[in-house]
Amino acid sequence: MTTKHAVIPDSHADLLTRPLFVHLATRGPNGIPHVNPVWQIWDGEFLRFTTTHDRRKCKNVTADPKVSVSVNDPEQPYRYLEVRGTVERVEPDPSGDFFDVLAKRYGLSYEAPVGDAERRVILVVRPEHTTHQ
């Protein structure tokens, strides 16, 4: 399994395994970059994000699956990781189960299922390149 972790440097993997907000950049209409803070979970291979199929973020990655993610260490802000990759799949999450996983990971209390569960999707991103410091 030596290739599985190859893209994410061990020295910065904690920035993905800790429940830190990451800033997900996509290409919006007319090529204008969009970026905002989101939840994330990494399984050692893919990064996954929750959104809904009718939100701008999902429309952006459907039109152009190339994305980039930036996260820095709250305790050492110059320590950061950027992950560039491709949205390989947009998977339905109609039960909101994946939303629940992320909500629990990030400590959000709410009454499941999430209100927009029927529109929920999972963005599955394959990391391809990183920059870090």
72 in contact with its own copies (CB under 8 A): yes
Q: From 6-14, 32-40, 88-96, 115-123, give the range in contact with its own copies by CB under 8 A.
A: 32-40
Using CB under 8 A, pick the residue from 37, 44, 92, 94 that binds its own copies.
Answer: 37
Using CB under 8 A, pick the residue from 69, 87, 102, 124 that binds its own copies.
Answer: 69
DSSP state of 11: G
What does the alpha-carbon distance between residue 31 and residue 13 come to, in Å, rounded to a whole number?
Answer: 30
67 in contact with its own copies (CB under 8 A): yes
Contact criterion met (CB below 8 Å) for 42 and 85: no
Using CB under 8 A, pick the residue from 80, 97, 113, 126 that binds its own copies.
Answer: 80
Nearer Cβ to its own copies (1/31): 31
Strand order in the sheet with 33-38: 33-38, 22-27, 66-73, 76-92, 120-132, 47-52, 41-42
Nearer Cβ to its own copies (55/92): 55
82 in contact with its own copies (CB under 8 A): yes
59 in contact with its own copies (CB under 8 A): no
What does the alpha-carbon distance between residue 110 and residue 130 come to, in Å, rounded to a whole number?
Answer: 34
What does the alpha-carbon distance between residue 117 and residue 104 come to, in Å, rounded to a whole number?
Answer: 16
